[in-house]
Amino acid sequence: MMFIVFEGIDGSGKTTQAKLLAKKLNAFYTYEPTDGLIGRLIREILKGEKKCEKETLALMFAADRVEHIRLIEEKLRESHVVCDRYLYSSIAYQTSQGVDEDFILQINRFAKKPDVVVLLTVDIEEGIKRLGKEKEIFEKERFLKKVQNKYLELAKKEDFIVIDTTNRSIDDVHEDVLNQINVKL
């Protein structure tokens, strides 16, 4: 069974594509932050309802991931697992906030390595338009550009599948995702 992760900035289409792939593969779909206790607190922070230091947020994502990995490993015994965001989101977003990358890697040293990572990229302005009105604290053009650049740097190091979703239909992107994933299956 394969552990497949979708990464990308907000508005890149990763949630849509992760759900479509999970359905196509009859895989278990999951996401980060989770719906667990820590994940719910993270979502409140991301919405600006609560505040904390950037290092505290990094630790919270790592803690949420510890709990999440148990579920992922359990589900991998029965099916593929498709995850919307994972460790690479922590690296891309939190280093862009100024958190030391070595710190992020250290607190996530337990993280399970995915079999495949699909990075969806998008023109920053288009990604922001896709988000609509309700924005989270990180959904600002300058910041998202920094995050996407970090993702592209990680993609070169880690051999991600990279697919540009700019000005493309959901179906066209999904076809690309399927073609790339089929090579790995």
pLDDT at 175: 97
**With bands split at pLDDT 50, 70 and 90, how would you rate the model's confidence at 139?**
low
Could you report the per-residue pLDDT of 119-138, keeping only the tens digit for each?
A: 999 998 888 888 776 555 56
Instruction: State pLDDT tens for residues 55-72.
Output: 999 999 999 999 999 999
Residue 143: pLDDT above 60?
Answer: yes
Sole residue written with tokens 């710190």:
103
Among residues 146, 142, 147, 107, the alpha carbon closest in space to that of 14 is found at: 147
Cβ–Cβ under 8 Å, residues 89 and 10: no
The structure tokens 């239909």 sit at: 169
Specify the pLDDT at position 133.
60
Q: Is the pLDDT of residue 176 over 80?
A: yes
Annotated binding site for ATP: 8-15
Q: Annotated binding site: which residue ranges?
A: 8-15
CA distance 166 to 163: 9
Least confident stretch, 25-34, 112-121, 135-144: 135-144
Pairing of strands 161-164, 28-31: unpaired
Q: Where are the domains of the chain?
A: 30-121+133-140
Q: What secondary structure letter does DSSP report for 139?
A: -
Report the pLDDT averaged over residues 137-144. 75
Residue 21 confidence (pLDDT) above 90: yes
Integer angstrom CA distances of residue 128 from 95, 144, 153: 21, 9, 21
Q: If one looks up domain 30-121+133-140 in CATH, what number appears?
A: 3.40.50.300
Give the confidence band of 142 by pLDDT, cuts at 50, 70, 90.
confident
